[in-house]
Amino acid sequence: MVRKLRKAWQLAPRRACSPDAIETQAIITACETLIASVLKPRALPATRRVDCNYLIDIRGDWRAGRYRFLSRYRSGMAHNEGYEFDSPFARIDHMGPHCFDIHWMRHTGAWWPICTGKTLTEALHVIETEDVFRFF
C-alpha cells in the first residue's frame, strides 16, 4: 500500500506591489536618469559594428510593480544581420513604501536576488556600482 505524502503549509514568497501613480512616475524618472547619466555613457561610448551581437542601447520598462533594465543588441552575423533583440539584466521590485528588492538576470534566464529591503536611492546605487551589473 502506498503512503500519502503529507502536505505542509509554507510561506509564499513576497510579491512586488504596485505603488500609486505619483510614486510610479518618481521611480521611472529616477531609473531613466540613471540610465541616461551613468549606464549609457559607460556602456555606449562608441558603438561599432562587429561580427557578433553588439550593444546598441539601454532602456527601461515598468510593469506590475517592477522596473526592468533592458539592453538592446543588434546581430552582425551574416545569416541574421541587423536582427535586434532585448535582454534584461537588472530588475527593481517595489515591495512596499520605500522598500525595494534588486534582482539580476542570470545566464540561465532566472532572476537572482541580490539585495532586499533597500530604498530607491540605495537600489540605484547598487545597480550603478556592483560588478555583477557591469556586463559591458
pLDDT at 69: 95
pLDDT at 15: 78
Query: Residue 111 has what DSSP assignment?
Result: E
pLDDT at 31: 96
pLDDT at 136: 54
Q: Are 58 and 35 in contact (CB under 8 A)?
A: yes
Give kind and range of the element (H or E) at residue 89: strand 84-96
pLDDT tens per residue across all 136 residues of the chain: 667 777 777 777 777 788 889 999 999 999 999 999 999 988 887 667 777 888 889 999 999 899 999 999 888 777 777 789 999 999 999 998 889 999 999 889 899 999 999 999 999 999 999 888 776 5
Residue type, position 105, single letter? M
Backbone angles phi, psi at 10, to 5 degrees: -130, 155
Residue type, position 30, single letter? A
pLDDT at 50: 74
Q: How far is the C-alpha of 62 from the C-alpha of 45, rounded, in Å? A: 26
